């Protein structure tokens, strides 16, 4: 028999510590098994993490993001990389999450240390594939990331 998993202060603190120690500035805590049809995870995020603009092209890859702790900035782009909208997602705030249809280019910027979001989308896990990473934005690890990430963050100043 399985036991319940709680999304509580203990988990949030653990995710914050692990994200701080991670070179990527983020860490996933899966509530699902990889072969399950619905993937549910909590993600601990630090301001240093870079979540490059991307989209999920499979029709079944809509995703829901809900901020459980802290504050994130969501950026939505068109095909050419023009910013369509930006929105602050904040735990307990006016807007705490988003449901993103498949095919929508989006990126996130962490606006508050030790943020935690819940993500839900169809499994199985599949790495971002051809046409899903924005060709107009730098890839994680590229020399241009700090400048682009600063631009992303500036959309929320």
What pLDDT does residue 2 have? Answer: 80
Distance CA 72, CA 70 (A): 7
pLDDT of amino acid 97: 98
In a domain, 81, yes or no: yes
- CATH number, residue 114: 2.60.120.10
Q: Whole-structure pTM over 0.85, yes or no?
A: yes
Q: Which domain holds residue 37?
A: 9-154
Q: What pLDDT, on the 0 to 100 scale, is given for residue 32?
A: 94
Residue 16, burial from CB neighbour count under 10 angstroms (0-12, 13-18, 19+): buried
126 found inside a domain: yes
Report d(CA 55, CA 68) in Å as an integer. Answer: 22
Q: Which DSSP symbol is given to 92?
A: T
Query: Is 109 domain-assigned?
Result: yes
Q: How many domains does the chain have?
A: 1
Q: What is the pLDDT of residue 79?
A: 95
**pLDDT for res 124:** 83
User: What is the radius of gyration, based on Cα positions, of the chain?
Assistant: 15
pLDDT of residue 145: 98
> What tens digit of pLDDT does each residue of 74-94 get?
999 999 999 999 999 999 999
- Which residues of the chain, if any, have pLDDT below 70? 1
């Amino acid at each position: 028999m399985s036991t319940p998993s709680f999304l509580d202060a203990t988990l949030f603190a653990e995710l914050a510590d692990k994200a701080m120690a991670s070179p990527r500035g983020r860490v996933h805590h899966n509530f699902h098994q990889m072969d399950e049809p619905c993937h549910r995870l909590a993600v601990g995020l630090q301001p240093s993490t870079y979540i490059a603009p991307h989209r999920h092209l499979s029709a079944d890859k809509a995703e829901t993001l809900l901020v459980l702790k802290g504050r994130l900035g969501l950026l939505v782009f068109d095909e050419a990389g023009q910013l369509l909208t930006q929105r602050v997602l904040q735990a307990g705030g006016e807007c705490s999450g988003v449901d993103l249809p498949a095919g929508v280019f989006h990126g996130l910027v962490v606006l508050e240390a030790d943020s935690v979001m819940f993500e839900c989308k169809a499994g199985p896990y599949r790495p971002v594939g051809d046409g899903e990473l924005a060709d107009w934005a730098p890839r994680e690890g590229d020399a241009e990331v700090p400048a682009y990430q600063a631009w992303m963050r500036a959309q929320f100043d």
